[in-house]
Structure formats: C-alpha cells, structure tokens
C-alpha cells in the first residue's frame, strides 16, 4: 500500500531512525499495519547485545509511533506537512525478543481523536506472536508550511 519512498514523503524520519519499511494496510481513518524488516546491520545491534542481539524495546515502541504518525497525518490530510509528536505511553509490555532476521508487523488502531490529539492501541508481532503492546498518545505539531523532502 505504501513503499519506503511514499513513507518518506509522509513522515520526516530518516536513517538510522526510520523504523518502518512499508505499510501493507491502511483504512485512512482508524487502522494501519506497517512492516519493519529487522536486519543484522541495524546500528543498535552493535551494543544491544553483541552476543545475543535483540531490538531495544524503546525502538519497537518508536516503530509503532512512526506508523501511528502516518495514520494521524493521513487522517488530517497533512501528509508531508507538520509533525506528529509522541506525548505519552501507557501499558507498554514486551512479550518476546525481536532478533535479526525477524519481520516486525506493526498494527495500530486509532481509539480516540479529539482535533489534533490522538490515542492509539499498538501491537507488534513477529510470526503472529505478540512481541510488544502499548497505548500511545500523540498530537499534531504546528504546521510550519515546510514539506517533508
């Protein structure tokens, strides 16, 4: 549904902090599913942990937040303009490690919206097994008129 080039037109994140490779489902209003292919070349694996590399939980949450950002900008028809700021997290739980070679499926459901304020339920899966879950809050930042390049 969205490849990496389109994702980069919607959100401002770039390597090494762009943590979503494609979007495979999006109903434009309430649900979105993204994919992160976790490779052995990820810079965080150099120190987390060299003997048994696992993706840091905070980066799984960040990947979920980036997919939520795409849905929020599409909902408000602000793709490529303004920024969505992560404002809170509740109930984060990490169920299993995410390792090099895994494909992370990032599922977000918009559970509340009031103007430019959003609340999402996020779940991250590897091979249909729940790896992480949380509730995220976010808000649209002031539109500076600058578009994502």
CA distances from 63 to 25, 59, 68, 116, 125 (A): 16, 6, 9, 20, 12
The residue to which tokens 């977000």 are assigned: 108
Contacts of 96 (CB under 8 A, 6+ apart): 126, 129, 130, 131
13 classed as catalytic: no
Classified as helix, coil or strand, 142 is coil
Do 46 and 84 form a contact (C-beta atoms < 8 A)? no
Greatest pairwise CA separation for the chain in angstroms:
46
The residue to which tokens 């965080």 are assigned: 44
Note if the bond before 15 is cis, omega within 30 degrees.
no
Q: Which of 8, 22, 31, 48 is catalytic?
A: 48
- Written as six digits, the tokens of 95 are 């169920």
Catalytic residues: 48
């Amino acid at each position: 549904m969205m490849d990496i080039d389109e994702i980069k037109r919607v959100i401002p994140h770039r390597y090494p902090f762009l943590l979503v490779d494609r979007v495979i489902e999006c109903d434009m209003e309430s649900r979105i599913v993204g994919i992160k292919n976790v490779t052995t070349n990820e810079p965080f694996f150099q120190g987390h942990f060299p003997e048994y590399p696992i993706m840091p939980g905070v980066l799984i949450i960040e990947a979920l937040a980036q997919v939520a950002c795409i849905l929020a900008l599409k909902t408000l028809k602000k793709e490529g303009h303004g920024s969505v700021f992560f404002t809170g997290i509740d109930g984060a739980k990490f169920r299993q490690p995410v390792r090099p070679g895994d494909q992370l499926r990032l599922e977000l459901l918009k559970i509340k919206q009031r103007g430019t304020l959003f609340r999402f339920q996020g779940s991250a899966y590897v091979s249909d097994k729940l790896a992480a879950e949380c509730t995220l809050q976010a808000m649209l930042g002031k539109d500076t008129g600058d578009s994502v390049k």
